[in-house]
Amino acid sequence: MIDKKLTIWCILVLMFVSSRVTGQNSPFNYDESRVPSYSLPELLITNDGTTVANRREWERKRRPEVLDLFTTHMFGRVPNHVDNELRFEVVEHGLVLQDSARRLQVRLFFNAIKDTPAVDLLIYLPVAANSRDACPMFLGLNFMGNHTITNDPQVPVTKSWVRNRAEIGYENNQASAAARGTSAHRWPIRLLIDSGFGVATAYYGDIDPDFDDGFKNGVHSIYPKVADPTGQQWGSIATWSWGLSRILDYLQTLKSVNPKQIGVIGHSRLGKTSLWAGATDPRFALVISNESGCGGAALSRRQFGETVQRINTSFPHWFCDKFQDYNANENALPIDQHMLIALIAPRPVYIASASEDLWADPVGEFLSGRMAQPVYDLYGLAGLGVKMKPEPNQPVGNHVAYHLREGKHNLLEYDWRQYIEFAIRHYARNK
Ligand code: GCU
């Protein structure tokens, strides 16, 4: 019986992996010639049909409308009574990387009651040896616990719920020390510190464990689901984004950090999250979407690789219930993902894809950056500067930037090097 189950499970995994990589034998479309014809919702025409002619009209009228459309139809609404005032406790600090960086571990409590779920924040800051300037930072959530992003033994193994993964010793939904450093390749701390950047991360499951439990755990346990016939309860992506904003509250209080130079970054589902965090919280100085795909940077109407129906079926808890109305019905959406990119304007946004990551639709990710340009134009800001997706490893763009990294779905040092350069360029301009 167990063998049979295991075999079926292995077949499903193999089917998924092969469809992700090659698209063969897959119900999903990986053929550009089979992308349906579609027309995108108008970015600069308001709900009452008037055309937006300048920034003021965008900021006063259309931007709030677009933000509300994403809230209502896709990500869900943060309840009005949520307490945004978190409590912070510094748990530990020390010097690392031959004293070139300071490590800070901080615990965030969701409200005044001590026993409520908490988020453990891990921060590395450059020790400003020859500079009096406060540092710029990147903030991003991680997938497997803070101890997986570094070999630093001072970072404790997460006690939060984790998805089982035998290869790193995660069993019974408990993390293990065997996983220490297994995601370090995604977090090049040395490179960031040497480039003058601080970096902060937290395990996304601290904010909301990533499984469909009917809105009972994580932040949802403090603000339980209330009946909402309009289907606008905040999904997990909205809770993770909200958590990023609360972490930002804290980072902005640090004296050695420049509060106007904190960028938000995320990979894959956490790239969807960083885009929504950037859209909802203008304090994020720049936004990075690493292979965010469907529900992130990729245009839904293209139905290339992962579709709305597929994402809502595999991960029903990521979005609000209302988003289910658009399963196999993308053209009925009053929004598409270029409008999510436009919500970030005039701040810089970087969209990255990988050449073998067809599941995330690199063309669709590129196009959403291109189709957001009319809003950047209102600010006189240059965007991608090219009409076609560039060849691998040839970054393009200005305020909207893009690259297609050679290789698989991942967040690698190549990607980080582009993000660091991008941030240096923009922060130098806005000094
Ligand atoms: C799945 C999912 C994607 C998501 C990815 C990830 O592949 O279909 O939408 O981006 O997981 O987060 O790793």
Of residues 428 and 7, more confidently modeled: 428
Closest-lying ligand 1 atom to the alpha carbon of residue 272: 10
Closest C-alpha residue for ligand 1 atom 8:
311
Ligand 1 centroid – CA 55 distance (Å): 35
Percent over 90 (pLDDT), the chain: 85
Ligand 1 centroid – CA 268 distance (Å): 6
Where does the pLDDT of residue 306 fall: very low under 50, low under 70, confident under 90, or very high at 90 and above?
Answer: very high
Tokens read off for 108: 């965030």
Of 131-140, 170-179, 183-192, the one with minimum mean pLDDT is 131-140
Closest CA to 296 of 315, 281, 275, 320: 275
* pLDDT the model gives residue 353: 99
Identify whether 265 is part of a domain: yes
CA–CA dist 304, 28 (Å, integer):
7
Q: How far apart are the first and last CA of the chain?
A: 65
Q: What is the mean pLDDT of residues 295-316?
A: 98
pLDDT single digits (tens) 35-74: 999 999 999 999 999 999 999 999 999 999 999 999 999 9
CATH of the domain at 344: 3.40.50.1820
Our count of domains for the chain comes to 1
pLDDT single digits (tens) 144-184: 999 999 999 999 999 999 999 999 999 999 999 999 999 99
* pLDDT the model gives residue 101: 97
Identify whether 72 is part of a domain: yes
Identify whether 26 is part of a domain: no
Identify whether 297 is part of a domain: yes
> Which one of 160, 183, 236, 268 is the catalytic residue?
268
Q: Which residues line ligand 1 (CB under 6 A)?
A: 268-269, 293-294, 306, 311, 314, 359
Q: Ligand 1: which of 16, 306, 409 to mutate, most ligand atoms within 8 Å of CB? A: 306
Domain residues for the domain of 71 are 64-429
Closest-lying ligand 1 atom to the alpha carbon of residue 310: 8
Q: Ligand 1: which of 19, 21, 237, 269 to mutate, most ligand atoms within 8 Å of CB? A: 269
Ligand 1 centroid – CA 287 distance (Å): 19
Q: What is the mean pLDDT of residues 328-339?
A: 98
Q: What is the mean pLDDT of residues 133-137?
A: 93
* pLDDT the model gives residue 24: 45
* pLDDT the model gives residue 14: 45
Identify whether 17 is part of a domain: no
> Which one of 73, 403, 409, 426 is the catalytic residue?
409
Of residues 15 and 327, more confidently modeled: 327
Indicate the pTM of the whole model: 0.94
**Is 409 a residue of the active site?**
yes
Identify whether 291 is part of a domain: yes
Ligand 1 centroid – CA 120 distance (Å): 24
Identify whether 80 is part of a domain: yes
Q: What is the mean pLDDT of residues 127-135?
A: 74
Where does the pLDDT of residue 19 fall: very low under 50, low under 70, confident under 90, or very high at 90 and above?
Answer: very low
Ligand 1 centroid – CA 16 distance (Å): 11
CA–CA dist 389, 121 (Å, integer):
36
* pLDDT the model gives residue 4: 44
Identify whether 8 is part of a domain: no
Closest-lying ligand 1 atom to the alpha carbon of residue 306: 8
